[in-house]
Structure 1
Amino acid sequence: MDYHSPYFFGYLIGFTHLLGIVAAIHALLTVRTAQGSIAWAMPLIFIPYVALIPYLVFGRSTFDAYIKARRQANTEMRTAIADFNWKPWIEEAVAARRSDAYRSLRAMPKLGRMPCLANNEVKLLINGDETFSAIFEAIKSARQVVFVQFFIIHDDDLGRRLQALLLERAAAGVAIYVLYDRIGSHALPARYIDELRAGGVQIKAFATRGGWLTRFQINFRNHRKIVVVDGMKGFVGGHNVGDEYLGLKPPLAPWRDTHVAVVGPVVACLQESFAEDWFWATRELPPLILPDSYPEDGVLCQLLASGPADAQETCSLFFVEAIHAATERVWITTPYFIPDEAVSAALRLAVLRGVDVRLLLPSRPDHYTVYAASSLFAFEAVRAGVRIFRYKPGFLHQKVVLVDSAISAIGSANLDNRSFRLNFELMLLTVDEDFAREVENMLIDDFALSHEISSEESKETHHLQQLGMRVARLISPIL
């Protein structure tokens, strides 16, 4: 064949367009939202030379083979722990139903796979220093088992401190299980992992691809952050393991994030979430521990684990339900504000009901395209009556929801399509007025360090900036 012939190039162009049409049909049949389908289908049809490879890598948001395999693994895992005594879940769930505040979240008992449990002690960890001091202190006291799961683990000072501590406890006979996301921790060197394994630590990467058909599938990621020590004490929130989370890396420093420490029955739910992900990575079940006793009184907590293998869009529905439940206020902090239509409508309706609706966003971008799209959504929300604040001191990465006087949620989920439909996320819902007051005071301090966006600011934006934001919004369903 003459590769320099114009016929060859014609055939090549025609074949590329044919592939683009096939991929566009696939997008229309599989992408979960109409906006996402259109965002992929149009470039696949008209500029397949540019769109085919990105679609292969990022576009297959409902990759059926993976989702079916994940669901099967979850079923196998639950069967494997059927012999464990999880009676505290059943006994304590009764107390949750007597909470008026929890009853306002009418869909939560069915939306969450895990029940709302009483008798938990929770502690708010406002920044990275507090978070990792508490985590390291808990690991130092470990006697039996430690679970560690993060989206990102860096081989920097904080990462090496964690490594040294895990090796020390492993040498003392503690069983250590570490799970990291293969994409989020892509820069983690093999040396770091090998040293942990040589020291007796069991460490695995969470991956959603395997075999030649899915070798380019990197769209699903495990964004959860979990630490559990001896089945007694758990940690969940927004921090990853890296010096930037201690505010040590400009230009985004000081980093603003939040974690929660918890003791009580809900720690069993944290263990189950970790066990599901560990079982997916290894097809083995880690040791699960139930303490002999729990606190006699405390906070109602429900762990909400969500991901692309769910039968419904659990994460998005959680935000919608929380916003709809608000009668007085709903304050949300998120680094990425790219809501779907359901969340946008819920925010607008809350404003119309007279609810104090506030969003706290970063003033500094870590991803410029996401920031541009987020800015346009923010301007539209301001015009609908939502109060939008930009945190000024450094990058804001925290994920917090505060509803009325008693309900709060802290975890890993952002207000964007990736958290709604592509990532495995975890939010700890708490129902307690005293703890909600702590969260309120924390957010009031954050608002005091922020700039409130006015509706006039959108009119002052340069035309080229507006164009950039609108282009970014076009591709926001696939970000």
Structure 2
Amino acid sequence: MTASALPASIVALHLLGALSALHAIRHARTPQGAIGWMLGLLLLPYVTLLPYLYLGSSRFFGYHAGHGTPTSQALPASAEASVVDPACARFAAISALQRRPFRSGHRLRLLIDGESTFAAMLAAMASAEHCLLVQFFVIHDDALGRRLQQVLLERAAAGVQVCVLFDGVGSHALPRRYVQALREGGVAIHRFATHRLRNRFQLNFRNHRKIVVVDGARGFVGGLNAGDEYLGRKPPLSPWRDTMLELRGPAVADLQRVFADDWQWITGQLPPLLDAPQDEGHASALVVAAGPADPLETGSLFFTAAIHAARRRLWLSTPYFVPDTAVRSALQLAVLRGVDVRVLIPSRPDHHTVFLASTLHAYHAVRAGIGMFRYQPGFLHQKALLIDDDAAAIGSLNLDSRSFRLNFEVGALVVDRAFAGEVEAMLSRDFARALAIGEEEYLRAPFLRRVAMHVARLFDPLL
């Protein structure tokens, strides 16, 4: 580069920085974020322009454009006419947020940890006769991934319509040969990608959903992906602690629709959609979906509304504890009204920056009277919520900004005393294997580690 060209490049960079700063002022989610990006882009465009290109957007564009509500398939009359548990009324705000009602008539099965969960899911997939919808954030070409691949190929060979989605970043290590083998075997498989122009360079928008739907009648949601580490086979994080929910009943149709929205975004077409039969169970359930294409910050609002609904107990398990202001305030208010608030988080990090920020948030939570606990046996990845004695949620949503507003997520909120009792028993065992966090965890940490916690917290909006 010549000497005369160098000043012109510097001027161009500062001009691009100024234009990007204007964009940040208009579109940043918070005033603090707008100020941070503006100062960085104006003063250090050489450093901040590229990160802003990949991380600067909080809105996913085009997801709903052009396909309206084609998945608004009518439910069977029996499902529409069924009467839900009266206790669902206190979650009316969440139902309104989701634009769908609670459904009744469900049978549920709580699936704990990888071996039992994948035994149940793979057996259910192998029983598919008409349609199989499968979606994971991560699929690995390892022992478990190849077991999944074999079941998918067998079902496709038997004439079952098999549709598979995986996230392009979460499954970045998935080799092309794995995908090609499935396609050659008749499986329709696609990578979820941010392929519209305004999303093109964004790393923020990941599809973190885990969904399996078998013949429109059985659905699975929760935290496990298709990889050996989720079976606890990858030290030092093993044993891996996680949870899924098997759902049978009319809300499976809503779970299909969540998958169908993602499928249509990628392919431009709808997957097969089957009516979910009314089951013989009694539980009421609401499928909860969240994502950056929503007009509201659905993930954060879901947690805030669920916490506000608690009157006696709120137990929460999450691998990443990075609450935003609304969720943090809701937890503090729950303590003030006498709710037993307990939060279970890992003792081992899988992402060090998030772990540092979580440690600082845990310190502030303990000072506010929130019971914070670290699970000891292995890495805790489960996303579970217990509200009082009659409600529980299982899904893919973490307690962090990615799940609140940057990732596509899904779960199920269940109102049923029997199921809530199962979740209570599960979490009681987990808390029995955990150590309470005191203020000394932060106060006795080395000075530089405490500084690192505060620096990590600056990145809360991206964690």
State if a TM-score over 0.5 links the two structures.
Answer: yes
Structure 2 partner of 1:351: 335
Preserved contact between residue 152 and residue 162 of structure 2 (Cα < 8 Å): yes
CA distance in 1, matches of 2:239, 2:22: 45
- C-alpha offsets along residues 255-282 of structure 1, whole Å, 9 cap, x if unaligned? 1110001111111111111111111111
Q: Give the match for residue 395 of structure 2.
A: 411
1:23 lines up with 2:8 in the alignment: no
Partner residue in 2 for 1:341: 325
1:281-305 per-residue CA deviation (whole Å, 9 max, x = no partner) reads 11111111115x4223410000011
* TM-score under structure 2 length normalisation: 0.96
Counterpart in the other structure of 1:252? 237
Task: Name the counterpart of 2:148.
Answer: 162
1:174-253 map, 5 Å: 174-211=160-197, 214-253=199-238
| 1:117–1:302 Cα contact (<8 Å) kept | yes
CA apart distance, 1:11: 3.6
Matched, 1:71 2:64: yes
Alpha-carbon distance between aligned partners in 1 of 2:75 and 2:389, rounded to the nearest angstrom: 35
Identity %: 52
**Matches of 1:105 and 1:83, distance apart in 2:** 24
Q: 1:103 aligns with which of 84, 89, 92?
A: 89
Q: Please state how far the C-alpha of 1:51 moved relative to its aligned partner.
A: 1.3
Deviation (angstroms), 1:28: 1.9
Give the letter aligned to residue 256 of structure 1.
R
Match of 2:81 in 1: 91
Hey, what does 1:322 align to over in structure 2? 306
Counterpart among 384, 406, 413 of residue 422 in structure 1: 406
1:46 positional shift? 2.6
Which consecutive residues of structure 1, in runs of 5 or more, have no partner in the other structure?
none
Give the count of matched residue pairs. Answer: 463
Is the Cα contact below 8 Å between 2:298 and 2:404 reproduced in 1? yes
Q: Which moved more, 1:387-396 or 1:38-47?
A: 38-47
What is the distance in 2 between the residues matched to 1:351 and 1:82?
40
2:51 is aligned to 54
Q: Equivalents in 1 of 2:340, 2:35: separation in Å?
A: 34
CA distance in 2, matches of 1:358, 1:344: 13
Query: What secondary structure is seen at the aligned counterpart in 2 of 1:120?
Result: strand
CA displacement at 1:113 relative to structure 2: 2.3
Counterpart residue number, 2:250: 265
Hey, what does 2:292 align to over in structure 1? Answer: 308
Where in structure 2 are the equivalents of 1:105-144 lying within 5 Å?
Answer: 105-144=91-130
Q: Secondary structure at the match of 1:107?
A: helix
The match for 2:424 is 440
Q: What RMSD, in angstroms, separates the aligned Cα atoms of the two structures?
A: 1.6
**Matched-pair contact (CA < 8 Å) for 2:316–2:342:** yes
**CA separation in 1, counterparts of 2:171 and 2:14?**
36
Deviation of the 1:313 alpha carbon: 0.9
Deviates more, 1:26-35 or 1:254-263: 26-35
Partner amino acid for 2:80?
A: I
Mind listing any 5+ residue stretches in structure 2 that lack a counterpart?
none
Q: Any idea what SS the aligned residue of 2:377 has? A: coil
Residue 63 of structure 2 aligns to a residue whose secondary structure is: helix
Contact 1:209–1:215 (8 Å) recurs in 2: yes
SS in 2 for 1:222: coil
The AA in structure 1 aligned to 2:140 is H
Find the residue that maps to 1:227 and give its secondary structure.
strand
- 8 Å Cα contact 1:20-1:48 kept in structure 2: yes
